[in-house]
Structure 1
Amino acid sequence: MSILLEVMTASRHLADLPTLLAATCVCLLAYLYLRRPRNLPPGPKGWPIVGNLPMLANSAFLPATLMELSKQYGDVMTIWMGRFPAIVLTGHETIRNALVKRAEDFSSRKAPPAQAMAGRDKGVLQAPYGPHWKQQRKFALMTLRDFGFGKRSLEVKISEEADALVQEILSHNGQPFDLKIMMQNAVSNIICSIVFGDRFEYGDPDFLRLISLLNTVIEAKPSVIDRLENIHPVFRFLRLFGKSGRDKATRMLQTVQEFCREQIEKHRLTLDPNDIRDFTDAFLLEQQRAPEEKAREHFTDKQLQEVLMDLFVAGTETTATTTRWALLYMMLNPNIQEKVHQEIDSVLGQSAPSYAQRNLLPYTTATLAEVQRIKSIVPLVGHAASRDTTFNGYNVPQEGRLLINLWSVHMDPQLFPEPNTFQPERFLDQDGNFVKHEALIPFSMGHRICLGEQLAKMELFMLFVSLMQRFTFNLPEGAPVPSMLGKLGSVVNVPFPFELCAVARG
């Protein structure tokens, strides 16, 4: 009899277990719901715990998906990244109101968990808005100007690299090849000459490995752990398990950081205060000269490492990718390529291009503007609120995430009729002169406008003109037309792999 009673008691306990688990889940969901900020902008309903993550993960091209959703929910809407709300801003007027007119409120950043763990919130790119960020950005801009930003001296470096790139392309004798690594080599070498004082040979194995690491970091999509961390921070401890305790992109990121640390140590050993060779030297000198408290706060080795990462990573991929998109559009639009050729021939002949000549090449300049419009290289820019505030009548919590949909501006048919058509003429007036369009914002706007905007503009123009001067670009015979959708990794909208034929011009 006693055995029977024990069995019955155990059965009752087991029967209560599902009820207990269900009650626990209900309480947890209620707790999370009650903790949600109130009066957020409207948006698509999400699942419990995971929010809109399944929808985002299944999107073929997220900026287009968000733009479509904005037609239903408005230019200010909320999507749920797990348990965290992200406020999406769509359209030129809305974005301008936030980033320019309300710059003090919406110019902060919140580094993704994996990057924050690696210290990537210490540089300029991912650092939160405030006195430290302002000080670092001011120092970076002043120092970069000293080393050529906007000056003729930088044009010389770009011209030298353009010549090296042309010679490398000529070695393929018009046969099909993939330009990706070659273009990254050229652009990153320009950055290297500014921040490290020297360039690398294209075949240097260490340099090739570095470019490969950069590609892994930039093209990596959020990992499973990244998505789980949006559900709850406790999942970040999963990074302690598995291969070396880190996901692939994180390991590659830390390897690039190690490269920057090595460069810093090499510069420290050879630093001469009377001969400042590059950005790294200038930072180390400021580290020595600054008062001790200021040096500890703003001029640490970690800070220098992350600023170098910002300049190297962001400065390499954006310009290299834009140039590749430009050549891809030339191949698919031979009539436009011919017009560019004719203009360059009539104005420059075989003379080396200068950035100052862009006003003499209006059609070429308009073509590059159209590439930047139709293929926003960074179509979604992450921001954060620097304090609790409101926008368009909705609450925006401090450090609340914002997604700035630049792609929605460039593809707005009210601003750019037939936005899916590649049409350089939209940037020309009736007399054929280049006309700036206020809604063309490939470098974003406001306080967080791209640090390397001037360098990128100069590089893009001079590299593109140099290549178009020397080559006609064609699709390999029999090759399928490459996809023009692009793939969005962590930040940059890159084309799918493609080969081209570069035929030398007379």
Structure 2
Amino acid sequence: MAILGAATVVLLVCIACLLSFASWRARSGKGKMPPGPAPFPILGNMLQVKTKNLAKTLQKLSQEYGSVFTVHLGSNPVVVLYGHDVVKEALVDRADEFAARGHMPIGDRVSCGGEGIVFSNNKEWLQVRRFSLSVLRNFGMGKRGIEERIQEETEYLLEEINKTKGTPFDPIFMLGCAVANVICVTVFGKRYDYKDKKFLALMHNMNNIFEMTNSHWGQLYQMFPKILNYLPGPHNKIFAEFDGLKAFVSEEVKMHQASLDPSSPRDFIDCFLNKMQEEKEHPNSVFHMENLITSGFDLFFAGTETTSTTVRYGLLLLLKYPEIQEKVQEEIDRVVGRARKPCVADRIQMPYTDAVVHEIQRFITLLPMSLPHTVIRDTCFREYVIPKGTTIFPILSSVLYDSKEFPNPNEFNPGHFLSENGTFKKSEFFIPFSAGKRICLGEGLARMEIFLLLSTILQNFTLKPVVNPEELNVTPVLSGTGNVPPPFQLCALPR
């Protein structure tokens, strides 16, 4: 009887696989869904997709299936766009059709099903985004005001680095505090001390979220959320970390409510509270408390983790290539000197430093797969039809690592952004912040911060590794939606 039962199970599995394969064949091909590997029931293409390096897996699949293909992450089909032309066509040329946020289970759960800015996917999303961008600009983003704020924060950062007295240290939380404080002044109206235990706990929250989301368990949750929602495991820790951050924002909102002066808003939270008051008679207004907390969280998290990780990864690369660090310092000394702080206006006279900053962002490709998009209706794209609601992954690494635009793309080479005569060379392939209507809201701020932080650190310190530069590993330790740099220590020697 046991043998008969086992045979029945095997038979049922085989039938399920055949039905799945037949369904897949019927759905894919010209005039239908893009081609791709045949999925297994429930598992999808889990056997072909390596969660340790998802972008690398998709690169290999693109060699077989072309620039537009389908993979099944769990039971859900995902259309992958691979290469500059198809990414640009979708995100820029046909931005309205591809602007909606795609299915991302971790983000969906955190945003309460569509609140905030980053993961929202409703009709009101554009209202909140436009409002947030307007407020950020009013408080100086992209202007001289925010530049001065960054320069002020670099003074605190330099003080912290000086305290190390040339001994080895891990820069992760120091950089996190510096970057976070810039956005904190705009969102919460104040900065925090680098030794503030509550503030440091938030830095740990954000670092853990970034690592956990891109870990094996994080990737599995993205594929099988309906199952893992009910199972114990490390994936549940991600949401505890998110809860810690949202509790902090919620507490800040309560304090702002108690001290609000509607005629003199101090920051983003005050402006949002004023907007809530203006629209209190509109029952369907998008300006409500849950949206305020989620939007404040989005700005705080997105404005901190990606930029601080980019700068940290940049320091690692400068340790790995001391000759590049030396050339940057020579340019800083020639253009800026030592008597004043670097400013954004210096960048046009510092083509090599500018090229290094761009090459850092290109090389690390912090978000290789971008955040997912979706189509708002059944969409004809190239020779295929993408059904409404299908998740789209525009692979940014396929653009940033295009070998025709960037010869030997796997090499860290600032020459990718320099012309033959040494001037800075722009490239339309440089899209680390994505492109189109979902381009990063804080792109201008992030680019300013990365340039000013790196140039100020190198103006004041020479960075030395604790091991031979050749022994430094610059390969991401985790690579899912984002690339997580390996841990390292450095010595900062005053110049």
TM-score, normalised on structure 1?
0.90
Whether 1:366 and 2:355 are equivalent positions in the alignment is yes
1:356-378: CA deviation from partner (whole Å, max 9, x where unpaired):
22101111101101111111111
Higher deviation after alignment, 326-335 or 441-450: 326-335
Calculate the aligned-residue CA RMSD, in Å.
2.3
Question: Could you say what secondary structure the match of 1:40 adopts?
Answer: coil
Aligned residue in 2 for 1:8: none
Q: 1:461 to 1:234 in 2, by over 3 A?
A: closer
Q: How many pairs does the alignment contain?
A: 486
1:178-219: CA deviation from partner (whole Å, max 9, x where unpaired):
111110110011111110000110000001111111111111
User: Offset at 1:21?
Assistant: 4.5
Equivalent-residue separation in structure 2 for 1:21 and 1:450 (angstroms): 49
Q: 2:318 aligns with which of 324, 330, 336?
A: 330
Higher deviation after alignment, 414-423 or 452-461: 414-423
Q: 2:304 aligns with which of 316, 339, 360?
A: 316
Higher deviation after alignment, 160-169 or 475-484: 475-484
Whether 1:481 and 2:471 are equivalent positions in the alignment is yes
% identical equivalent positions:
37
1:358·1:365 contact (CA, 8 Å) conserved in 2?
yes
Higher deviation after alignment, 42-51 or 399-408: 42-51
1:100-140: CA deviation from partner (whole Å, max 9, x where unpaired):
11111111113433432333531111111x53111111101
Aligned residue in 1 for 2:328: 340
Whether 1:289 and 2:282 are equivalent positions in the alignment is no
Equivalent-residue separation in structure 1 for 2:330 and 2:218 (angstroms): 52
Equivalent-residue separation in structure 1 for 2:11 and 2:98 (angstroms): 40
Higher deviation after alignment, 304-313 or 448-457: 304-313
Aligned residue in 2 for 1:257: 246
- Corresponding letter in the other structure for 1:348: V
Q: 1:174 aligns with which of 157, 162, 166?
A: 166
Equivalent-residue separation in structure 1 for 2:397 and 2:383 (angstroms): 24
1:143-162: CA deviation from partner (whole Å, max 9, x where unpaired):
10001111111111101111
1:325-380: CA deviation from partner (whole Å, max 9, x where unpaired):
22222112222111111111111112111112210111110110111111111111
Higher deviation after alignment, 474-483 or 314-323: 474-483
Aligned residue in 2 for 1:51: 44
Higher deviation after alignment, 88-97 or 490-499: 490-499
2:55·2:479 contact (CA, 8 Å) conserved in 1?
no
Equivalent-residue separation in structure 1 for 2:315 and 2:228 (angstroms): 41
Aligned residue in 2 for 1:491: 481
Whether 1:304 and 2:297 are equivalent positions in the alignment is no
Aligned residue in 2 for 1:270: 259
2:44·2:73 contact (CA, 8 Å) conserved in 1?
yes
Question: Could you say what secondary structure the match of 1:53 adopts?
Answer: coil
1:389·1:396 contact (CA, 8 Å) conserved in 2?
yes
User: Offset at 1:504?
Assistant: 0.5
User: Offset at 1:307?
Assistant: 1.0
Whether 1:118 and 2:110 are equivalent positions in the alignment is yes
Alignment of 1:118-157 (within 5 A): 118-120=110-112, 121-128=114-121, 131-157=123-149
User: Offset at 1:16?
Assistant: 6.5
Gaps of 5+ in 1: 1-10
User: Offset at 1:226?
Assistant: 6.6
1:225·1:238 contact (CA, 8 Å) conserved in 2?
no
Equivalent-residue separation in structure 2 for 1:44 and 1:115 (angstroms): 27
Equivalent-residue separation in structure 2 for 1:359 and 1:123 (angstroms): 36
Gaps of 5+ in 2: none
User: Offset at 1:266?
Assistant: 0.9
2:103·2:374 contact (CA, 8 Å) conserved in 1?
no
Equivalent-residue separation in structure 1 for 2:456 and 2:229 (angstroms): 50
User: Offset at 1:97?
Assistant: 0.4
Alignment of 1:226-241 (within 5 A): 227=220, 230=223, 234-239=226-231
Q: 1:504 to 1:445 in 2, by over 3 A?
A: same
Q: 1:426 aligns with which of 416, 430, 441?
A: 416
Equivalent-residue separation in structure 2 for 1:136 and 1:35 (angstroms): 40
- Corresponding letter in the other structure for 1:466: T
Q: 2:56 aligns with which of 61, 64, 72?
A: 64
2:51·2:480 contact (CA, 8 Å) conserved in 1?
no
Whether 1:463 and 2:453 are equivalent positions in the alignment is yes
1:71-126: CA deviation from partner (whole Å, max 9, x where unpaired):
12101111111111111111111100011111111111134334323335311111
Decide which structure has the larger Cα Rg and report it: 1
Equivalent-residue separation in structure 1 for 2:217 and 2:414 (angstroms): 41
Whether 1:410 and 2:403 are equivalent positions in the alignment is no
Equivalent-residue separation in structure 2 for 1:404 and 1:318 (angstroms): 18
Question: Could you say what secondary structure the match of 1:404 adopts?
Answer: strand
Question: Could you say what secondary structure the match of 2:72 adopts?
Answer: strand
Q: 1:19 to 1:335 in 2, by over 3 A?
A: closer
Equivalent-residue separation in structure 2 for 1:35 and 1:124 (angstroms): 36
- Corresponding letter in the other structure for 2:390: G
Q: 1:103 aligns with which of 80, 89, 95?
A: 95
User: Offset at 1:315?
Assistant: 1.1
- Corresponding letter in the other structure for 1:344: I
- Corresponding letter in the other structure for 2:164: H
Whether 1:447 and 2:455 are equivalent positions in the alignment is no
